């Protein structure tokens, strides 16, 4: 029987990795049936789709670099395509890792995409478009998607409380940018703050009592 040093469990059968932590098992295999059922990960469930995506990414990047090398006078525009492909994979990786919690997934997506936009803005001599347009519109899009998901899927009260905090953050960030003088165009940020206030108001009107009861329960008040 094999043994997992990290989890301290004995595992029957011929498994190479622990079913709990996925760490390597020590010991010898035996002929007894396995206790733990095989549960495929999302990477194995959609392995072919991911392989096709990887191949398409490689084809797009290599083709762009090859055409760029054949047209040297046009500048290094192919690097933007390669960077764009990389950004797509970063966003996809975050979406897969945080797929079980929708509000947190949306928060991570906004943070990652905003950071990538700011980085692109810095690398292209900083024109401020990332803070003026991308960040507020990402926040607005995330709030819109979250409000629809909350209505359709009937999120649990715990997820609604996370949703409340996230929407509040989306309204505070543009205000910080405004008072620190980072914005050249304020209209998108004003729309973002207004959307945040409206979303918070709707959440308090329809779910405020339930959230208060859940908060009292958690704080043992």
Each residue of 6-60: pLDDT tens digit? 777 777 777 777 777 767 888 777 666 666 555 555 555 566 777 888 899 999 9
Q: DSSP readout, 174-197?
A: HHHHHHTT--S--HHHHHHHHHHH
pLDDT of residue 38: 54
What pLDDT, on the 0 to 100 scale, is given for residue 37? 56
- Residues 144-170 have a mean pLDDT of 82
Give me the pLDDT at residue 130, please: 94
Q: Which residue has the higher pLDDT, 129 or 221?
A: 129
Best CA proximity match to 65, nearest among 85, 50, 87:
85
**Closest-CA residue to 65 (of 53, 74, 77):** 77
For 60-74, write each residue's pLDDT tens digit.
Answer: 999 999 999 888 777
Distance CA 111, CA 213 (A): 30
As a whole number of angstroms, the distance between CA 52 and CA 198 comes to 42
Q: At what angle do helices 157-179 and 102-123 cross, to 10 degrees?
A: 20
* Interval 121-141: pLDDT, tens: 988 888 999 999 999 999 999
Extract the tokens encoding 79: 């690097």
């Amino acid at each position: 029987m094999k043994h997992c040093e990290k989890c301290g469990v004995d595992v029957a059968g011929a498994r190479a990795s622990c079913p709990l932590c996925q760490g390597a098992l020590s010991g010898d295999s035996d002929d007894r049936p396995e206790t733990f059922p095989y549960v495929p990960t999302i990477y194995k469930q959609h392995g072919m789709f991911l392989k096709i995506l990887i191949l398409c990414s490689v084809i797009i990047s290599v083709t762009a670099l090859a055409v760029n090398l054949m047209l040297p006078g046009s500048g290094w525009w192919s690097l933007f395509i390669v960077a764009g492909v990389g950004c797509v994979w970063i966003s996809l990786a975050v979406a897969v890792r945080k797929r079980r919690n929708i509000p947190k997934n949306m928060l991570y997506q906004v943070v990652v995409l905003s950071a990538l936009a700011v980085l692109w803005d810095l690398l292209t001599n900083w024109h401020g478009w990332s803070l003026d347009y991308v960040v507020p519109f990402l926040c607005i899009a995330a709030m819109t998607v979250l409000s629809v998901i909350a209505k359709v899927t009937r999120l649990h009260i715990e997820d609604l409380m996370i949703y409340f905090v996230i929407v509040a953050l989306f309204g505070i960030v543009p205000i910080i940018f405004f008072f620190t003088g980072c914005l050249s165009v304020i209209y998108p940020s004003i729309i973002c703050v207004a959307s945040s206030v409206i979303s918070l108001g709707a959440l308090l009107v329809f779910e405020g009592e339930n959230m208060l009861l859940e908060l009292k329960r958690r704080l043992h008040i």
